[in-house]
Every structure is written in C-alpha cells, then in structure tokens.
C-alpha cells in the first residue's frame, strides 16, 4: 500500500501555485510544515488503509531538485470533464503541457488522460477511467 509520494522542488512558491491549482479539486487539503507542502486526503473510516498523501519538498541533501526520467505521479479525476478542467488549471498555474487530455491508443478504451509537468519538471498525469463515460472507440 502506498502511503505517500514525494517530489522535489527548488521553488516552493511556484510549486504551491501549481499544485494548489488542482489538488484541492480532488479532495486534498494543504498543510505546510517547515516550508514544505503536504497535500493530505481526508481519512475515510470505512477503509482500513491510508489514502496516499502527496508531498512537495526541498531535497533533504541540499542539492537541486531534479525530475526523474520515467517517473510520473498520476491523480484520478472524477470525469473526463474534470480531467480537462484540472489540466487547464495546471497549465494556467505555471505547468507545461506534456499531452492534451484525450484517449491514448496504448491504454484501455476508457482511460482518458492529460499530462503536465510542474515548474520543476516533474511529470503529472490527470486521468479518468469511468466506464459510464464515452470510450475511445465508441
């Protein structure tokens, strides 16, 4: 079970602007601790497991943060419309487009996804896979 994911950032102010543009729409609340950002999902009593938190931190070793090649964090949206809205909000908040929202031939017929990079270069996927919404081939 994944408890949390952390990405590095050299500019926490830019990172906060970027992530706060869409994570609250997915249910995350922001907590700040020693200058770092912690995006926390509410605990749900009906589950015995923890919902994964998302942290944005300056690297502990004092070196510059860097985005990992092949590393990506994906956030699940509630609908295809929300994917489009979150993707646009992320771009407006300083992100760069890494792939417009839509279907991809390499994924299942209901996997609707948009990709962005945060100001540090970390790759973020925003997706929905609701079988009740239109499919790629439908």
Q: Which helix (H) or strand (E) holds 63?
A: none
pLDDT digits (tens, 9 = 90+) for 70-98: 899 999 999 999 999 999 999 999 999 99
Structural domain includes residue 138? no
What mean pLDDT value characterizes the chain? Answer: 93
Helices (H), the chain: 12-20, 80-92
pTM, two decimal places: 0.90
Structural domain includes residue 137? no
The partner residues of 74 in beta bridges, in order of sequence, read 125
Structural domain includes residue 133? no
What's the domain count of the chain? 1
Structural domain includes residue 54? yes
Q: Which helix (H) or strand (E) holds 29?
A: strand 29-33
Residue for token pair 């945060």: 118
What CATH number corresponds to the domain at position 111?
3.10.180.10
- Predicted confidence at residue 51, as pLDDT, reads 81
Structural domain includes residue 35? yes
The shares of helix, strand and coil residues in the chain, as percent rounded to the nearest 5, are 20, 35, 50
With a cut of 90, say whether residue 29 has pLDDT above it: yes
Domain hosting residue 25, numbered range: 4-60+67-128
Phi/psi for 58 (5° steps) reads -70, 140
Structural domain includes residue 135? no
């Amino acid at each position: 079970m994944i408890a949390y994911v952390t990405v590095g950032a050299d500019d926490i102010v830019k990172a906060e602007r970027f992530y706060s543009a869409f994570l609250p729409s997915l249910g995350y609340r922001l907590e700040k601790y020693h200058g770092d950002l912690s995006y926390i999902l509410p605990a749900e009593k009906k589950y015995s497991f923890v919902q994964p938190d998302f942290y944005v931190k300056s690297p502990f070793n004092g070196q510059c943060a860097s985005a990992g090649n092949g590393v990506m964090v994906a956030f699940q949206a509630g609908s295809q419309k929300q994917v489009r809205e979150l993707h646009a909000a992320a771009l407006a908040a300083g992100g760069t487009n890494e792939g417009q929202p839509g279907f991809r031939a390499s994924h299942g017929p209901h996997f609707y996804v948009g990709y962005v990079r945060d100001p540090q270069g970390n790759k973020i996927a925003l997706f929905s896979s609701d079988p009740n919404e239109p499919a790629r081939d439908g």
